[in-house]
Amino acid sequence: MLKDAGFNAIRSSHNPCSRALLDACDKLGVYVMDEAWDMWYNHKNKYDYASQWRENYKSDLLAIVSRDYNHPSVILYSIGNEVSEPARDEGVEAAKEMVSLLHEADPTRPVTGGFNLMIITSAKKGKGVYDENGGGRDESGDKAMAGMNSTLFNMVTNMVGTGMNKSANSKKADAAVSPVMDALDICGYNYASGRYPLDGKLHPDRLIFGSETFPQDIAKNWEMVKEYPYLIGDFMWTAWDYLGEAGLGAWGYTPDSKGFNKPYPWLLADTGAMDILGNPNGEMFLAQAAWGQLDAPKIAVQPINHDTKPAKMVWRGTNAIPSWSWRGCEGKKAVVEVYTNQPTVELFQDGKSLRQKKTKLCKAVFKTAYHPGRLEAVSFDASGREMGRSALTSANGALRLTVAAEVSEADTGEIVYIPVAVTDENGVVESNADSAVAVTVEGGELLAFGSADPRTEDRFDAGKYTTYYGRALAVVRTGVGDLTVTASDGKTTARAVIKHK
């Protein structure tokens, strides 16, 4: 799904990925940045791997090379993520040693790292970031590295926002980060896109890429990728939502939505160009437009079914989804986003033009009052010629559950994915009629059932879950015969049958 959407590389953040993932990337032709750790010998959290790092880092790196050498998908080795040690000579020497070790073990691949230049610059000034050892000391007992833990640092990042991109533009910052950058074959910059235009003159022999960037910056960053030959790509955080770092990217509407470290029952990071079920959102459409992947404009709408403004996190530029079906929201203000790499778009609501707008960094935003019906976007090139159009419609009439397996037949023991949705009779998903759905399986085993709700007390292993914006997903292992999956919300029932091969 990621490759079909236009992604062509995965960063294994921030540990070596599984062999199964590498096998999949080999098969599909997806590049891999193969990363070792999230810390070196200074702790980010009190009980993390830093205590064991010194005695194991060499064998760790050699184990990665030994396992991954024959995986053609692996194009880069990474020696770490957002560590502060390179602010000192000892850390720089450690980086040089690791690069040399990897070159000796595998001379065919370049070595990089995902370095946050603001962290290194701050640590160079004696204002360290990470402190989970108690008393504000690193393992040598030196107070100079005293600082905050990794959670607090992310909280600060959220407050600073995309301004972090310019935090390492100064001459002092360049002097602080250059020793470790000069040790690498290719330099990975986390949240430092402000340096991209500068490095061509400051370091004409340096190759760089965005090893971690905000998703809302992808269009701006990709313009620079195309402009500067020494800037070779971008890893946006992130392509797919995930469990953990609860609420990292959430645009939340509940009282506990503010701040980075959100409490239970927050569960998902709620970031990503796809939600955890694989449904695309505005972040995806922005990336696709920037990469020239869209033949027609894409429409996404910020959720209309809330009466308050969301508390926003910087790891998400929009919470818009491709839906124009919000029952009970008639007359409410709707924020409509249209994505395209064409210079102009026009938005129509029920056949009436709202207006024509110029796009900025592949996006145009319209505001209107919600009424069920049809939204249509049309894109135009610089000469005014129509280049493409697309539409969203509202669900109409009675709603029902729809169960649609992704495959029609499967062999014994296969894992299959079965989307469940609240739709009208034409299959249009209704985003504001969520209900608790129970799933049962005959001829197989239900492994998990859930939705993309980032804040919920529902369990993936209970067989009952509330849909989120009208959608849920069942994960099933097939048995020896035909498989039947039945979903019911107490009002309607639907089922899918997968034939045994």
CATH numbers and ranges of domains, the chain: 7-237 (3.20.20.80), 282-393 (2.60.40.10), 400-500 (2.60.40.10)
- What pLDDT is attached to residue 156? 72
Whole-number Å distance between alpha carbons of 100 and 106: 10
List Cα–Cα distances, 324 to 273, 282, 283, 320, in angstroms.
19, 14, 17, 11
The C-alpha R_g of the chain, in whole angstroms, comes to: 24
- What pLDDT is attached to residue 225? 98
Angle between helix 50-68 and helix 89-105 axes, rounded to 10 deg = 20
- What pLDDT is attached to residue 138? 46
Q: Residue-wise pLDDT tens for the chain (501 aa)?
A: 999 999 999 999 999 999 999 999 999 999 999 999 999 999 998 899 999 999 999 999 999 999 999 999 999 999 999 999 999 999 999 999 999 999 999 999 999 999 999 999 999 988 766 665 533 344 444 443 445 566 666 777 776 778 889 989 999 999 999 999 999 999 999 999 999 999 999 999 999 999 999 999 999 999 999 999 999 999 999 999 999 999 999 999 999 998 888 999 999 999 999 999 999 999 999 999 999 999 999 999 999 999 999 999 999 999 999 999 999 999 999 999 999 999 999 999 999 999 999 999 999 999 999 999 999 999 999 999 999 999 999 999 999 999 999 999 999 999 999 999 999 999 999 999 999 999 999 999 999 999 999 999 999 999 999 999 999 999 999 999 999 999 999 999 999 999 999
- What pLDDT is attached to residue 146? 44
